[in-house]
Structure 1
Amino acid sequence: MFTEERLDAILQCLRQDGKVRVKNLSEQFQVTEDCIRKDLKVLENAGKLKRTYGGAILSQDYPLERDVIDRRTYNEDKKIIIAKKAAELIKDHETIFLDISTTNIKLAEILVEARKRLVVVSNMIDILQILAKSSTITPIGTGGTMYRTVNGFMGAATIEVIKQYSFDRAFIGSCGVDMVDLSITTLGVEDGLTKKAALQSSRHKYIVMERDKFYFNDSYKFAHFDDINGIITDENPDQSTMNLLDSAGITLY
């Protein structure tokens, strides 16, 4: 098989499955793993994919650039699974932080339905509006600079408020993880620094994200695996990723 034919075949696999693994492609096309890595680099340079730890994904198909309003219904079933797992960790009379995250919107809805007695601090307006319906939850907004694309507050003023609290638990959204240097990423510096402040102010720290995000990392690294206690996801990733998480001491929920 010629190189161009193999590149086209790799893209076809990506369109079908959403991601590919170097090892599997090496076996499928009967070439070395180094050869496949070079192929993936060529395709990445052409803007066709985004390389990840051990493979690649179709970066243009991943909806990370959408506004929060657009992302609310994306993977909704998976977000509900994650939110239910997160809710089970929360105990009555705790003070928790809910970061800007469409998954945390679902978590807020579940907490209201469960009538848990909590103090909930959030920098997302959607979450505060949901919590305001509860007679057992005390919602507290951080305030700060309003960012319309996420319908929430980020930046220096927000961070100063967050620093004044001591949270029992923080639930933080992510655009993906970098399995090479074990970092957790998001789209930009303002969001990243705000998330970092929430993690530093919390005793128990969790990342809430769909399984697909184990195969994607974005531009700003706001934390590393040793900064968190666990990752709450809808489904376990592949075994090699599981092994790395276990080695890093990360609990997967």
Structure 2
Amino acid sequence: MFAQERAEKIIQLLNENQKVVVKELSKRFDVTEDCIRKDLKTLEKQGIIKRTYGGGVLNRQFAPHDDILRRVNINLEGKIKIAEKAFELIKPGETIFLDISSINILIAEKIAKGNKKLLVITNMIDIIRTFSKCDHVDVIGTGGVFNKEVNGFVGSSAIECISKHKVNRAFIGSCGVNMFDKSITTYDIEDGNTKKAIISSAKKVYLVIENKKFYYDATYKFAEISDVNVIIVDEVPDKKIRTELEKMNVELI
């Protein structure tokens, strides 16, 4: 087994058990303990684990805090997969909400290129712009306080507008999802409060995230995992995550 394959297996074990032991890994992979220590040292340098005496524990990281438009092209292939899955779920004639999210920009582009007649409500400038020449899509912008960092409207005025609508489906982005404390997080408090309002307005709530977000946290909790109905991902997460989501009756697509 190559070192990279071993590292991936070690990460999987960490996600399932929260810790690993050098002696146990040595026997499992039939390599020396020194070899395993080198593997753990490499994973620690990558920020994935924290080494302990005789082993290592999973080191949860804070999500990168970048401008949202800079994030659009990061892991573009994975985000397109998520957008395609989301688009297939939307039925003609529905009212949907597209929250502030780099993935939701791609969902909007899919809708714009399609022919499904929809009413889209959004608080993101780039999504509004995407539909500027679409005859088959009606758009409602929430208005509110414009937040340059997230490129959208947040706060009490946006929330007031959102509260007046009921939507068939809401697609929500997030900076991180923590399976241990069951939290969904973002960085900006007003963005988080606006997301809460969007969740309350929807018959069905979809969290659109890359698989790696299960290993990230941000600073403001805006929802519990049980507040969403479906999580749409680019890659299938590990068995432990799948099992926990099943227990909470949260569908994984």
Q: How does 1:176-191 map to 2 (within 5 A)?
A: 176-191=176-191
Does the aligned pair in 2 maintain the 1:57–1:216 contact within 8 Å? Answer: no
**SS of residue matched to 1:25:** strand
How many residues are matched?
223
Equivalent position amino acid for 2:20 in 1: L
**Is structure 2 residue 151 aligned with structure 1 residue 154?**
no
**How many Å separate the matches in 2 of 1:119 and 1:28?**
54
**How many Å separate the matches in 1 of 2:57 and 2:66?**
24
**Is structure 2 residue 227 aligned with structure 1 residue 227?**
yes
**How many Å separate the matches in 2 of 1:167 and 1:238?**
32
Q: Cα distance 1:245–1:82, how it changes in 2: closer, same or farther (>3 A)?
A: same
Q: Deviations over 1:54-104 (max 9, x none)?
A: 9535737x5x21101211100111110000100111111111000000000
**SS of residue matched to 1:97:** strand
| TM-score scaled by length of structure 1 | 0.80
- Which residue of the partner structure matches residue 20 of structure 2? 25
Does the aligned pair in 2 maintain the 1:166–1:201 contact within 8 Å? Answer: yes
Unaligned runs of 5+ in 2: 28-39, 51-55
Does the aligned pair in 2 maintain the 1:115–1:134 contact within 8 Å? Answer: no
Percent identity, please: 43
Unaligned runs of 5+ in 1: 1-11, 31-39
Q: Which runs of 4+ in 1 moved over 6 A?
A: none
- Which residue of the partner structure matches residue 95 of structure 1? 95
| TM-score scaled by length of structure 2 | 0.80
**How many Å separate the matches in 1 of 2:156 and 2:57?**
37
Q: How does 1:7-22 map to 2 (within 5 A)?
A: 20=11, 21-22=13-14
Q: Deviations over 1:75-134 (max 9, x none)?
A: 111110000100111111111000000000000000011121000010000001001221
RMSD: 2.7
- Which residue of the partner structure matches residue 204 of structure 1? 204
- Which residue of the partner structure matches residue 218 of structure 1? 218
Deviation for aligned residue 1:139: 1.1
Q: Deviations over 1:157-207 (max 9, x none)?
A: 111110000011000001111111212111121111000100000001010
**SS of residue matched to 2:150:** coil
- Which residue of the partner structure matches residue 56 of structure 1? 58
